[in-house]
Structure 1
Amino acid sequence: MSQLFNIVSNINKLPTPLKVRTLSMFFGRVIPFAGTSNVQIEELNQERSVLIIKNKKKVQNHIKGVHAAAMALLAESATGFLCGMNCPDDKLLLIKSMNLNYVRRAKGDLKAVAELTDEQRQQMINNDKGDISVKITVTDEDNQEPLTCEMIWAWVPKKRK
C-alpha cells in the first residue's frame, strides 16, 4: 500500500474528535490551499471519504454562501484524498477533468462524500496508467445538492520509461 494509506491508517486509530482534527491538520499541511479554507476530514479510508467545509467568512461569496471555487476545492479534495489512499507510491496521481454544474444556491455548510468501487481500486493498483470517474455527492445543510460533479482522476508511472 501507499505511504499515505499507512499514515491515515495510523491516524484513524485515534478517538473520533482527535482523528478528525489530526487528519484535517495533516492534509492542511500537505495541501496548503485545503488548509487555508479549513476543509475538515470526517472520514477517510480506501473506499470512502467524507469532507466538510464550513460556511465561514474566508470561503464566502458576495451573498454569504460558500464560494463556487471553495465548492470545487471541497469536491476535488474529497476525490483526490480518496484516490491518494489507493494509488501506489510508484504512480503519480493527477486530476484530469473537473465537471461542475452549479444547480442551486447552497445553504450553510457543505459535505462531500466520495466513493470508489473495488474495481476502480484494483485498476489503480494493477494498471501502470489509466483514469477513473470518481463518484462524488456534495450536499448542503438542507441535504440538497447545490452542485453536481464529475471528477476524473488519472495516474501514470512516476518514472518515465
Structure 2
Amino acid sequence: MAQPPKVLDVYNKWSKFSFGKRLFSWFFAQWAPYFKTIKPLVLDLEPGKCEVLIKKKKAVQNHIGTVHVIAICNGLEMAMGACAEATIPEHLRWIPKGMTLDYTAKAGSDIRCVADCRDMIWQEGDFLMPVTAYDKNDVVVVKGHIKLWVSLKPNKK
C-alpha cells in the first residue's frame, strides 16, 4: 500500500490530540501565510475532501456584518490546497490557475469551506476542484470551483 501524503499523515497523527486540529491548522497556514488572516480550523481532511472552518469574527466581516466573500475565498483555497495535497498522485503536482464562484446567500454565521474531489480522477491539464461554503445551517453561501493546473513532477537527477 502506498504511503499517505505527508500532509495527510501529519493531520492524522496530530488530530488524535486535543489541540491537534488547531495545531495542524496553524502549521498548514504557515505554508501560505495569507491563510492566517482568517484564523482557519481544519475540521476534517481525508483523501479527496477537506473542510475548513472560518469563525465569524470582526476581522473577517464586511460593512454589513457578514463574513466577507474574500475571507470565504481564502478558506475555500485553503480547503482546496489541503485536499489536493492529501489526494494528488505522487507523480503529479498542482498549482492554482483560477477560481469561479457564485455568491448564493449572505454569510451571516461561521462558515464551513469544503473542497471535495472524491469522485474525480487526477490527470495532467486543467483540473476543476469543486468547492462549497456553508453557513451554520448548511445553507450554501458560495459555490463553484478552483481551477488547478496539474502536471508531471520533473525527474530528480
Q: 1:137 aligns with which of 128, 132, 136?
A: 132
Per residue, is there more helix in 1 or in 2? 1
Aligned to 1:106, the other structure's residue is in SS state coil
1:27 equivalent in structure 2: 28
1:96-155 superposed Cα distances (whole Å, 9 cap, x missing partner): 2211111221111000122223542xx2xxx4x323222222101222111221222222
Q: 1:95 to 1:7 in 2, by over 3 A?
A: closer
The alpha-carbon deviation at position 89 of structure 1 amounts to 5.8
How many Å separate the matches in 2 of 1:139 and 1:105? 10
Amino acid at match of 1:135: P
| Count of aligned pairs between the two proteins | 153
**Partner SS for 2:27:** helix
Structure 2 stretches lacking a partner, 5+ long: none
* 1:66 and 1:108 in contact (8 A); partners too: yes
Aligned residue in 1 for 2:10: 10
Q: Which residue of 2 aligns with 1:39?
A: 40
Query: C-alpha offsets along residues 44-91 of structure 1, whole Å, 9 cap, x if unaligned?
Result: 121211110011111111112111111111112111210122235664
Aligned to 2:145: 150
User: Which deviates more, 147-156 or 62-71?
Assistant: 147-156
Q: Which moved more, 1:15-24 or 1:54-63?
A: 15-24
RMSD: 2.3
Cα distance change of structure 1 residues 10 and 80 upon mapping to structure 2, 3 Å threshold: closer
Structure 1 residues 44, 78: closer, same or farther in 2, change over 3 A?
same
Select between 12-21 and 144-153 the one with higher mean Cα deviation: 12-21
- Decide whether the 8 Å contact of 2:48 with 2:84 is kept in 1: no
| Contact 2:116 2:130 (8 Å CA) reproduced | yes
* 1:11 Cα deviation after fit: 3.4
Identity fraction in percent: 25
Matches of 1:135 and 1:92, distance apart in 2: 18
